Amino acid sequence: MDTAPARSARVDRGELAIVVGAALVSFGVAATILATGDFGREATRLALRTTARLSFVYFMLAFLATPLGRLRPGPASRWLVRRRRAFGVAFGASMTIHVGCILRLYALYAPDRPPMVTNADFLIGIPGLTLVGLMTITSAIAIRRRIPPNAWKRLHTTGLYAVWSIFFLCLVDSVSRKETDHPITAYYAFIAVLLTAMGLRVTARISQQRSRESEAIARH
């Protein structure tokens, strides 16, 4: 999830702190929910939903870095742009805890399929996770250098929009199917953030195209 030109393969301490910190937060929150719920089915389901939302935060920071850098240049957006690869990897790490919760549900409901795992989870979730895995692995500088830049960019751009779509579909599907006392904080707020983030990406893209066109006109 990084489009910066070639960087040093040295591990950046700031990036490492973000990845390890985010993974520990997701792991710690999931473990606390499971422990307070005696590691039962409902606790596992809650941990699954919560890790999806924590992963959402890391994903959004990676998704929004470039458009914010373009639309609101400043120290904060520059910091975010420099750290977007770390937030992408943090998202990948946090999603492994989502997967861990799914596997635990399978163990708790064995030999049946857990009733909350739908066919749609398989159809869109598995390809989505495959993309997340590929993006996370290819974010490592050493691996990135072995991949042609165009192929790398295609993978990461496709993955970014695919994951955005999976979040959107999961949340819209859930809000229409599931009962909750807090639909705004549980679903609508996340859907609003997704739509706003996409709006910012489109606006940033248009602004980039316009400035390229103006530069081309100025050169002639």
Whichever of 163 and 200 has its CB closer to ligand HEM, that residue is 163
Tokens representing 101?
Answer: 């919760």
Tell me the C-alpha distance between 90 and 84, whole Å. 10
Considering the rule CB under 6 A, would residue 25 count as an interface residue with ligand HEM? no
Residue 2 near residue 139 (C-beta atoms within 8 A): yes
Site for ligand HEM in 60-99 (CB under 6 A): 98
Q: Which member of 170, 194, 197, 204 binds ligand HEM (CB under 6 A)?
A: 170
Tell me the C-alpha distance between 88 and 23, whole Å. 12
Q: Which member of 3, 49, 57, 165 binds ligand HEM (CB under 6 A)?
A: 49
Q: Which member of 125, 156, 159, 197 binds ligand HEM (CB under 6 A)?
A: 125
Q: Which member of 45, 83, 144, 156 binds ligand HEM (CB under 6 A)?
A: 45
Q: Which member of 121, 155, 198, 208 binds ligand HEM (CB under 6 A)?
A: 121
Considering the rule CB under 6 A, would residue 129 count as an interface residue with ligand HEM? yes
Give the three-class secondary structure for 134: helix
Which residue from 96, 86, 93 is spatially nearest to 65, judged by alpha carbons?
Answer: 86
Tokens representing 8?
Answer: 């040093």
Q: How far is the CB of 214 from ligand HEM (least distance, A)?
A: 38
Tell me the C-alpha distance between 116 and 132, whole Å. 22
